[in-house]
Amino acid sequence: MNTLLHAFLKRTIRKGSIEVIDSAGKSHSYGDGTLTPVRVRFNRPTAERNVILYPGLKLGEEFMNGGLDFEVGSIYDFMETIFINTEGRDPTALMRVGAKLRFATRRLRQVNTARRSKRNVAHHYDLDGGLYDLFLDSDKQYSCAYFEDDQPDLEAAQLAKKRHLAAKLALQPGMKVLDIGSGWGGLGLYLADRCGVDVTGVTLSEEQHAVSNRRALDRGLADRARFLLQDYRKVKGPFDAIVSVGMFEHVGVNHYRRFFEVCRELLAPDGVAVLHSIGRFDGPGDTNVWIQKYIFPGGYIPAVSEVVPAIEKAGLKITDMEILRLHYARTLREWRHRFLAAREQVKAIYDERFCRMWEYYLVGSEISFRYWDLMNFQIQFTRHQHALPITRDYMFEAERALRIKDQRIEARTSLKVAGE
């Protein structure tokens, strides 16, 4: 067995139970026998070397390419055991050097011009539409849900997320709303339907653009909800409200100030905007190299300390901020369970390597939100400090009213289905 890998596991794994079958067929055990037992088999010596010398990239690559297999437990159980044992510890000297080098060069990887942004979006969001149908909720919300209680109901939590955001926008019927990064149109259609507003959504994904407009037409909302295949920097305003969910992670640190300058240009003087994004607790950093290469090229998860100065410099005023802890961990767990349940269908669309790649993506993301320094934030901002009431009561009242409306519509829908 690789000497460095053996030394790392022996020194690190205090809790848990990991058995390693090395490439020569010999067994090595680590831990105290607690937690979910894991047995991992390395199929070649290079896999042992790679995962210890460059774990941020090579663990995922070796799992994708068959360099290692799990005979007991899963990649999730293995990574959870590693994270539990390393939580709060300083990284090794080699990892610190690598992190510093990547941080120093991160802006080069985040030059997200309009052309490059479209290419990056296509890499992830223009995959076969059937893939997302297999693990997302019925409204295809591909962002952090909002769990109002302890029930693991993804449908209810994604509906609650839309309700939560709508309440923060302080909407009135007839208002014009811009949705930057509108996905498959779910949020925009919700706002148009429940709040009676006129919605313009923009996306760079051709797949999402087609689906969004088809859904608007099917629901009879095309007169007040339209979706454009357009970069947000090309949009013409003004709008009474702007919302952006799960898109800011693709902007890139080089473009933060321009993003908020565009928001200011597009926002009416008394308008309200809400930004929903993944964030990091531990300050500015860099994107995991495996995620950057295989899942989100050009992407970066910002620290709040990087976002606030850009808002201020754009002449905008932060009027509310909320940190959502662990909501995304729960969301990702539901996605992962659904993905694994549909694994054979995913394999039929793509192949085994793709299944392993996406399983690793969902596992690594969930673990990071559950044990390390990732969270979600929602920042509300305006051009004018008198644009909103001076207490947050209006949010709670709007959310309560929307919840009642959602329940009534759900009840009517259930009765209609039962009657059929």
Determine the pLDDT at residue 97. Answer: 42
- Mean of pLDDT values over 159-165: 98
Please determine, for residue 62, whether its predicted confidence score (pLDDT) is greater than 70: yes
Query: Could you tell me if 164 and 187 are in contact, meaning their C-beta atoms sit under 8 angstroms apart?
Result: no
- Look up tokens 């309700």; give the residue: 163
**Residue 130 reports pLDDT greater than 80:** yes
The pLDDT, as a whole number, for residue 151 is: 87
Across residues 9-36, what is the average pLDDT?
Answer: 96
> Looking at residue 111, what is its pLDDT?
64
Question: Whole-model pTM?
Answer: 0.91
Q: Which domains does the chain have, with CATH numbers?
A: 3-89 (3.30.1050), 114-419 (3.40.50.150)
Place 288 in a pLDDT band, splitting at 50, 70 and 90: confident
Instruction: Give the contacts of 360 (CB within 8 A, at least 6 positions apart).
Output: 60, 63, 64, 75, 290
Residue range 91-107, pLDDT digits in tens: 444 444 445 544 455 45
Asked if 12 contacts 55 with a C-beta cutoff of 8 angstroms, the reply is no
Q: What is the pLDDT of residue 104?
A: 53
Read off the pLDDT of each residue in 44-50 and give the average, rounded to a whole number.
96
> What pLDDT is stored for residue 393 in this prediction?
97
Look up residue 106 and give its amino acid: R
Q: What is the pLDDT of residues 236-245, one digit of tens each?
A: 989 999 999 9
Helices 186-195, 206-218: crossing angle, 10 deg rounding: 30
Q: What's the average model confidence in pLDDT over 342-371?
A: 96
For residues 187 and 324, give the distance between their C-alpha atoms in angstroms, rounded to a whole number.
18
Angstrom distance (rounded) from CA 34 to CA 80: 13
Phi, psi of 225 (to 5 degrees): -150, 110
C-alpha 369/C-alpha 189 separation (Å) is 29
Mean pLDDT of the chain: 91
Phi, psi of 224 (to 5 degrees): -135, 15
> Which amino acid makes up residue 298?
G
- Asked whether 287 and 301 are in contact (CB, 8 A), the reply is yes
What percent of the chain shows pLDDT beyond 70?
89
What's the pLDDT at 93?
44
Is residue 415 over pLDDT 60? no
The two beta strands, 198-203 and 225-229, are parallel
Q: Which residues contact 88 (CB under 8 A, 6 or more apart)?
A: none
User: Which three-class secondary structure string do you get for 108-125?
Assistant: HHCCCCHHHHHHHHHHHH
| Terminal Cα-to-Cα distance of the chain (whole angstroms) | 63
**Of the candidates 197, 198, 228, the residue with the CA atom closest to the CA atom of residue 212:** 228
Long-range contacts of 393-400 (CB under 8 A, 24+ apart): 394/167, 394/170, 395/167, 395/168, 395/170, 395/320, 396/167, 398/166, 398/167, 398/170, 398/171, 399/163, 399/164, 399/166, 399/167
Q: What's the CA angle centered on 354, arms 351 and 360, to 5 degrees?
A: 145
pLDDT of residue 120: 59
Close Cβ partners of 67 (under 8 Å, ≥ 6 residues apart): 42, 43, 44, 46, 47, 50, 61
Tell me the C-alpha distance between 228 and 313, whole Å. 28
Q: Which comes out higher in pLDDT, residue 131 or 298?
A: 131
- The answer to whether 216 and 225 are in contact (CB under 8 A) is yes
Give the CA dihedral 97, 103, 106, 108, nearest 10 degrees. Answer: -70
Give mean pLDDT, residues 146-151: 93
Residues sharing a CB contact under 8 Å with residue 194, sequence separation 6 or more, in sequence order: 166, 402, 405, 406
- Residue 242: which residues within 8 A CB-CB, separation 6 or more? 177, 178, 179, 180, 263, 266, 267, 271, 272, 273, 274
Q: pLDDT band for 297, please (50, 70, 90 cuts).
A: confident
